[in-house]
């Protein structure tokens, strides 16, 4: 599936990568409520497995700090090299989000503002 539609009617598949279960469920629920297909992963390593097996992902939302060999920045760098058409949204509970914008289309701080989050996802998917 590819992303299509305007900013008010996004369509697409989003991979949400977040090790904190409640945060991941909340982000995924917000995206499903906006009409998107959502796949979830709890680590960057798990996300790489999903990405290598699924070419229908349009956008990845990832936390920066996660357990395992692949953190959010490494995941984003891999996406830029291997799947450059996939949009990237990075989120972090730390204030140093400026580094995130070198590999991400959007960088958001935690706690994530719900309306801003959905609006940014819709904007990114609507622009394809």
- Determine how many CB atoms are found less than 10 A away from the CB of residue 1: 11
pLDDT in tens, 24-35: 999 999 999 999
In a domain, 6, yes or no: no
Q: How many structural domains is the chain composed of? A: 1
Q: Which residue has the higher pLDDT, 58 or 10?
A: 58
CB 59 within 8 A of CB 14: yes
CATH for 115: 3.40.50.2300
Mean pLDDT of 11-28: 95
What SS3 state is found at 40? strand
pLDDT at residue 40 tops 60: yes
Q: Which residue has the higher pLDDT, 7 or 104?
A: 104
In a domain, 2, yes or no: no
Rounded distance between C-alpha atoms, residue 2 and residue 58, angstroms: 6
pLDDT at residue 102 tops 90: no
Rounded distance between C-alpha atoms, residue 44 and residue 38, angstroms: 16
Mean pLDDT of 112-124: 91
Full-model pTM: 0.87
What is the predicted pLDDT for the residue at 120?
A: 93
Domain that holds residue 88: 13-126
């Amino acid at each position: 599936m590819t992303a299509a539609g305007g900013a008010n009617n996004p369509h697409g598949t989003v991979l949400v990568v977040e090790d904190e279960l409640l945060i991941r469920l909340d982000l995924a629920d917000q995206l499903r409520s906006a009409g998107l297909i959502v796949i979830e992963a709890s680590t960057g390593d798990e996300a790489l497995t999903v990405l290598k097996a699924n070419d229908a992902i349009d956008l990845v939302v990832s936390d920066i700090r996660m357990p395992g060999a692949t953190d959010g920045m490494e995941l984003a760098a891999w996406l830029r090299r291997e799947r450059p058409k996939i949009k990237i949204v990075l989120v972090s509970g730390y204030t140093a989000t400026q580094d995130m914008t070198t590999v991400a289309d959007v960088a958001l701080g935690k706690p994530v503002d719900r309306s801003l989050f959905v609006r940014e996802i819709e904007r990114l998917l609507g622009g394809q």
